[in-house]
Amino acid sequence: MTHEHDLTCQNIIENLNAYIDGELDDVLCTEIEAHIQSCPDCRIVVNTLKKTIELCKNADSETSLPAETRHRLFAKLNLEDYDKKD
Amino acid sequence: MNENTETFELEALQKRDRAVFAQVLDQNSDRIYRLGLKMLGNVQDAEDILQETFIKAFNNIDQFEGRSKISTWLYRIAVNESLMLLRKRKGNTIQLDAPLETDEGDLIPRQIVDWCCLPEKELMNTETRDHIQEAVKTLSDANRAAFILRDVEGLSTQETAEALDISESAVKVRLMRARMQLREELTAFFAGKMIKETL
């Protein structure tokens, strides 16, 4: 990794979570973005980390409770009369 | 995935109003099922966790004071139930508030490959989905719980900390470890695909 700005690549790793979650103050955020612009390795780490989170979230987005499992849940709790039928 | 509309009457819930119980089930059963599926990796265990969570919640509804969202309270029960089941299987103790490992080596990126340029159909097909599910299973139980709640279910850091009964700083460390480990797993997976394509 290159070291052309005040921040080192190690600084980027230390602040990576907060940067991705938008929890950093504007000054540090700008410095990190400047570093990322000039450091291809850090840019790849940031981009692939963001993409990893996005893919993991999307991989699960279609999971919902199967109808049979839902019926058994309502029955277990003696709430059959409130169970929406298919 | 953010089903955070909590519309029920707390007082009626605490008086064990069945209609309100049913409403809470309707609003939260999908998310608790997903959590069980991700924590335990199979549908039978996920269903057991789902049922146990709501049985415990409704039996102890007087302990819910409405200071947090009911979904956060349910997540907390579900995570504890999941960990108890995993503990039984592994025959050891899993503590979410156990001291964090001091090895920082797992936070250093090892593989630098730009796979973001791959076409969307490569990034999200059945094979990739299966690989992601397997990769999530390789996380430690404590890191997996933090990752699922924060990144998959979309809870805030504070809500995740409440659900896991750990500090916000501990959530952040666990989340970072989980994210970096998953990034390494996916990088190895996609790098392999990119090499195959060039052959």
Distance CA A68, CA B167 (A): 38
Dihedral angle at the C-alpha atoms of B57, B61, B63, B66, nearest 10 degrees? 100
CB contacts of A59 in chain B (<8 Å) are 124, 128-129, 132-133
B191 shares its domain with B111 = yes
**Helices of type H across A1-86:** 9-20, 26-38, 40-59, 67-76
Query: What is the predicted pLDDT for the residue at A85?
Result: 64
Tell me which residue in A45, A79, A82 faces B112 most closely, judged by beta carbons: A45
Range with lowest mean pLDDT among A1-5, A73-77, B56-60, B118-122: A1-5
CATH number, domain with residue B16: 1.10.1740.10
- The tally of domains found in chain B comes to 2
Look at residue B86 and give its three-state secondary structure: helix
CB contacts of A60 in chain B (<8 Å) are 1, 34, 38, 152
CB contacts of B175 in chain A (<8 Å) are 17
pLDDT band of residue A4 (cuts 50, 70, 90) is very low
Is B157 an interface residue toward A (CB < 8 Å)? yes
CB B147 within 8 A of CB B182: yes
| Residues B18, A47: C-beta atoms closer than 8 Å | no
B111 shares its domain with B80 = no
Count of C-beta atoms within a 10 Å radius of residue B67: 8
Is A74 an interface residue toward B (CB < 8 Å)? yes
pLDDT surpasses 60 at A3: no
B35 shares its domain with B121 = no
| Residues A82, B172: C-beta atoms closer than 8 Å | no
Does B98 map to a domain?
no
Highest-scoring range by mean pLDDT, A42-51, A57-66, B118-127: A42-51
B67 shares its domain with B122 = no
Sign of CA dihedral A56, B28, B170, B141: negative
Residue of chain B whose Cα is closest to the Cα of A57: B152
CB contacts of B47 in chain A (<8 Å) are 69, 72-73
| Residues A77, B25: C-beta atoms closer than 8 Å | yes
Distance CA B177, CA B149 (A): 14
Lookup: tokens for A7: 């921040």
CB B6 within 8 A of CB B69: yes
B193 shares its domain with B108 = yes
Burial of B198 (0-12, 13-18, 19+ CB in 10 A): exposed
pLDDT surpasses 50 at A39: yes
| Residues B152, A74: C-beta atoms closer than 8 Å | no
pLDDT surpasses 50 at A2: no
CA distance B91 to chain A (A): 29
The domain of B34 spans 10-90
Size of interface A-B (CB pairs under 8 A): 110
B74 shares its domain with B138 = no
Domain finish residue from B36, B65, B90:
B90
Domain finish residue from B90, B119, B148:
B90
With a CB cutoff of 8 Å and minimum separation 6, the contacts of B90 are none
Is A44 an interface residue toward B (CB < 8 Å)? yes
Distance CA B177, CA B195 (A): 27
**Along chain B (199 residues), what's the average pLDDT of each consecutive run of 10 residues?**
58 90 94 95 96 97 91 97 91 58 66 90 90 94 96 95 96 95 95 82
Domain finish residue from B90, B118, B152:
B90
B108 shares its domain with B171 = yes
Query: What is the predicted pLDDT for the residue at B2?
Result: 43
B125 shares its domain with B67 = no
- The beta-strand segments (E) located in chain A are none
Question: Residues 41-70, chain B: which have Cβ within 8 Å of A?
Answer: 43, 47, 50-51, 54-55, 58
pLDDT surpasses 90 at A60: no
Query: What is the predicted pLDDT for the residue at B128?
Result: 93
Range with lowest mean pLDDT among A34-48, A52-66, B122-136: A52-66
Distance CA B180, CA A17 (A): 10
| Residues A44, B186: C-beta atoms closer than 8 Å | no
Question: Residues 66-105, chain B: which have Cβ within 8 Å of A?
Answer: none
Q: Which residues of B92-130 are buried (b: 16+ CB within 10 A; e: fewer)?
A: eeeebeeeeeeeeeebebebeebbeebeeeebbeeebbe
- What count of Cα atoms within 13 Å lies in the side-chain half-sphere of residue B108? 6
CATH number, domain with residue B134: 1.10.10.10
